[in-house]
Every structure is written in C-alpha cells, then in structure tokens.
C-alpha cells in the first residue's frame, strides 16, 4: 500500500485516525500495532510472519542481553546471525548462486526467493536496537507491545527512514498529540506527497519516454541521467517527508533523512545530506567499530571501502549497486587525502563537480548490468557516434522543461525560504496546502503511473 495511493489516503489513513484518537491512551500503541500489521500484510501477505518473528526474537534477545551481562556477547552474536542471515537468505541467496555458477561453472538451481517488502529497513532497525542494548545506550523494552509497535510502525516500516529505538523510546511510552503537532504533520505529509506525486512521478514519465526513443541522442541520455537523479531524490525524500509527517500525526518525532543533498559542495557533504539514517547507521555500527579514522592510513582506506561496499550491497543484490558504493568510496578517499581542501576553496566549481559526480553515480545505480553502464556513460559523454540532439529529444525536453525547472528549484532551499515568509500570511498557507491536496488527488485518479523506486531495496 503506497502512501500516495487512493486506498491509503482515503480509506486506511482516515479510518486509522478516527480509531486512534477515539480509543483511550492505553490502547493507542495497540491500535498502531494492529493497523501497521494490516498495512504490511496488505502489501506482503506471504511473508508477514517474518516481521512478527523478527519482533519476537529481537525482543527476547534484547531482554536476555540486558539481564545476563555475562553472556551478553553470545546473545548479541546469536541475534546478529539471525538478523543478518535472514537478510542474506531472502535478499541475496540467488545473487550468490549466480556468481558461484559463473565463477566455478556449476549449475546450482536458483531458489527464486521473493524479497519481503521493507526487510532491509526493519532488519537494520532491530540490529541497531540489540547493539544499543548491548552497549547500554538504551534499556531493553519492558513491553513487547511497545517494541513491536516500534519495529512495525507503518510510516517507516517499508521505506524508512531507519528509526533507532533511542529516538522514540520515550514517545512509545508517553507522547502527546496536539493541534500544532498534527498540523505540522499534515503540512509535512503534503509536501512529501507533492514531491512524490507531482514531481517524482512526472519526471519518471519523462525518463521512461526518453529510454524507449527510437532515435537516441547525447542529450536524451543526459536528460535521462538528470531526470533519474531528480526522480529518485523526490521519490525517496518525498516518502521520508510523508513518514515524518505521519509520525507527527501520532506524536512521534523521527529524525530528518534528507537535507537538500543536490546542493552539496562535495561528495563528503552529499553523504551528510543524503539518506542520513542509512549513512549514520553504517558510521555508528560499522565504521567506528572498525576504528574509524583513528587508525593507520591503510586501515582507514579499508574501513572506507568496507562501509561503502556494504552501503552499495544494502541497496540490492546486483553488481551495479556494489560498483555504485565503491565508486563513492574512491571519491571520498580522494577528497579526504588529495584535493578536498583545494576543492573547498572554489566558489562555483565545487557545486558543478559534485552534481556531475552524483548524476554519474545514479547512472551506475539505475543500470542493471556493467555493460549497460558502459553504453549509457559512453553515449551520455558523446563517445557513441550519436547526434548531440534530435527532433524527438527536443520534443520531450520542450514538453517537460517547466517541470524540470520546478524540480531543480525544489531541490534547493529556495522554496523553503519562500514558504517561511508565507507563514506570515496566515490566510494564504491553508489555501496553498488545500490546493496541493486537490491537485494530487486529481492526478492520482487520472493516472496509473505511480511507482516507488525504493521498494526494490
């Protein structure tokens, strides 16, 4: 069930809100838990039991880690083996079989396992929980219902952000929902819905049209690359905005997951702004335990490559994702040790440098094979004997030019600055948000194009 679907917006969410605000305080977590399970089972009926089993095992093991410190490391290792093993089995087993067959010329049969929706997100949440209990950063949950509500909470269940237990542990026990918080949630949800439906979906239509052109050109590849970068940013950041907004409906305050990454001044800066919950997860649970930057140069480089190999691999069981992660590892090492300080002294070049490298990275991310990456990049940079531009490409550029300009502006803080000024005109703000909701509803009723890219991961 997509947040941007008619079913969610006009059936699931209104019914949940009515029930949630009618029941007494002591039943609110139970309501969220039941509705979150329904939300998950609606989209993933086959593997819904995995979510419940994960809740039970991690709740029990978290309690054992806290109560039996003498054996805490043993319990932690058992829990990590379960969590990581579950992820490896459902997400990566066929990938491993394929590569074993290719390397050793074997003929092991594929398992054709369907990956459960959201497994990468809820598994990382449970991993962070047991590690934090082990490190005494948080107390193990005394209530299974509270813990299960944390793991299954539908706003962030299938697409993040990766919410740590320490972020909302107090709010699971005691939280307040008032008019101001709810109103802020509505605004944030509307902004996310606008990003997803009226920018990401429409830019996605442009990319889909350009990808099937009979006669390609250099500019058709350039606009596909730029378009996909904008699409995945607005798609994923829009969902994060909606998740944060939905959390506010119920009194939860999730941390930010994006901070205008497309205006970053370096790749290092980009990863401080893009998918913050994922990069901070790998920083805290992989990079720092390996020694971070307080080690020798060779070990530091090893740490960087381990983290970014895992970051790429987390996104999917495919070599293009691994290459995508290692691509960033190389650039981050070079920025830190070779030209980062010089880059930072430039005024305009650092922004051009960053966005070009980011666009190239999402070409790698989007192409399914290494061969496809080579063809796309060579075509985009004019090494494939294609014309610079042709009539078909110009038709789509002209048709979507206004949208692309709006998307580029919306990827900067400019609209936020304008929005803050409009708050002074109290009568105008509700009109704008009502207008957004009407436009989105009209689009959803009329359109069948409503994908969500991060369901792949």
Catalytic annotation, residues: 315
Q: Which of 254, 234, 246 is nearest to 187 (CA)?
A: 246
Backbone angles phi, psi at 58, to 5 degrees: -70, -30
Residues with Cβ within 8 Å of 346's Cβ and at least 6 positions away in sequence, in order, are none
CA gap 145, 212 in Å, rounded: 49
Q: What angle do CA 418, 421, 424 make, to 5 degrees?
A: 145
Give me 9's structure tokens.
């917006």
The answer to whether 86 and 111 are in contact (CB under 8 A) is no
CA dihedral 358, 414, 238, 330 (to 10 degrees): 20
Q: Which of 196, 178, 125 is nearest to 156 (CA)?
A: 125
Q: What angle do CA 227, 232, 234 make, to 5 degrees?
A: 95
CA dihedral 62, 67, 70, 72 (to 10 degrees): 0
Q: Which of 180, 141, 191, 192 is nearest to 164 (CA)?
A: 141
* Helices of type H across 290-448: 297-315, 319-334, 340-345, 349-366, 370-380, 391-410, 414-422, 428-446
């Amino acid at each position: 069930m997509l947040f941007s679907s008619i079913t969610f917006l006009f059936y699931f969410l209104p019914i949940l809100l009515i029930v949630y605000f009618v029941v007494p305080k002591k039943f609110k977590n139970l309501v969220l838990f039941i509705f979150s399970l329904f939300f998950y089972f609606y989209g993933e009926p086959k593997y819904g039991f995995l979510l419940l089993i994960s809740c039970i095992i991690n709740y029990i093991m978290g309690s054992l880690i806290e109560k039996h410190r003498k054996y805490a490391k043993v319990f932690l290792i058992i829990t990590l083996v379960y969590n990581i093993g579950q992820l490896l089995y459902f997400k990566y087993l066929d990938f491993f079989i394929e590569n074993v067959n290719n390397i050793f010329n074997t003929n092991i049969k594929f398992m054709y396992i369907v990956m459960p929706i959201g497994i990468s997100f809820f598994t990382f949440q449970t991993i962070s929980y047991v590690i934090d209990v082990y490190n005494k950063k948080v107390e193990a949950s005394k209530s299974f219902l509270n813990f299960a509500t944390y793991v299954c909470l539908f706003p962030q269940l299938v697409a993040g952000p990766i919410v740590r237990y320490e972020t909302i542990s107090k709010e699971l026990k005691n939280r307040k929902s008032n008019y101001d918080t709810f109103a802020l949630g509505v605004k944030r949800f509307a902004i996310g819905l606008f990003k997803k439906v009226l920018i990401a979906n429409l830019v996605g239509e442009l990319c889909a049209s350009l990808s099937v052109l009979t006669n390609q050109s250099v500019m058709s590849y350039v606009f596909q690359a730029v378009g996909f970068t904008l699409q995945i940013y607005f798609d994923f950041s829009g969902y994060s905005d909606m998740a944060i907004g939905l959390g506010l409906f119920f009194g939860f305050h999730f941390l930010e997951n994006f901070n205008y990454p497309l205006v970053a001044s370096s790749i290092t800066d980009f990863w401080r702004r893009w998918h913050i919950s994922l990069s901070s997860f790998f920083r805290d649970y992989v990079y720092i335990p390996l020694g971070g930057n307080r080690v020798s140069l060779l070990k530091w480089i090893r740490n960087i490559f381990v983290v970014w190999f895992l970051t790429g691999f987390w996104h999917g069981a495919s070599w293009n994702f691994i290459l995508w992660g290692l691509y960033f590892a190389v650039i981050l090492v070079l920025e830190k040790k070779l030209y980062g300080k010089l880059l930072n002294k430039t005024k305009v070049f650092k922004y051009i440098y960053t966005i070009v490298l980011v666009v190239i990275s999402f070409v790698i991310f989007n192409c399914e094979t290494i061969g496809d990456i080579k063809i796309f990049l060579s075509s985009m940079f004019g090494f494939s004997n294609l014309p610079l531009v042709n009539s078909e490409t110009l038709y789509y550029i002209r048709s979507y030019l206004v949208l692309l300009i709006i998307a580029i502006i919306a990827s900067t803080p400019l609209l936020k600055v304008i929005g803050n000024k409009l708050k002074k005109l109290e009568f105008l703000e509700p009109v704008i948000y009502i207008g957004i909701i009407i436009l989105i509803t009209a689009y959803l009723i009329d359109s069948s194009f409503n994908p969500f890219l991060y369901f792949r991961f």
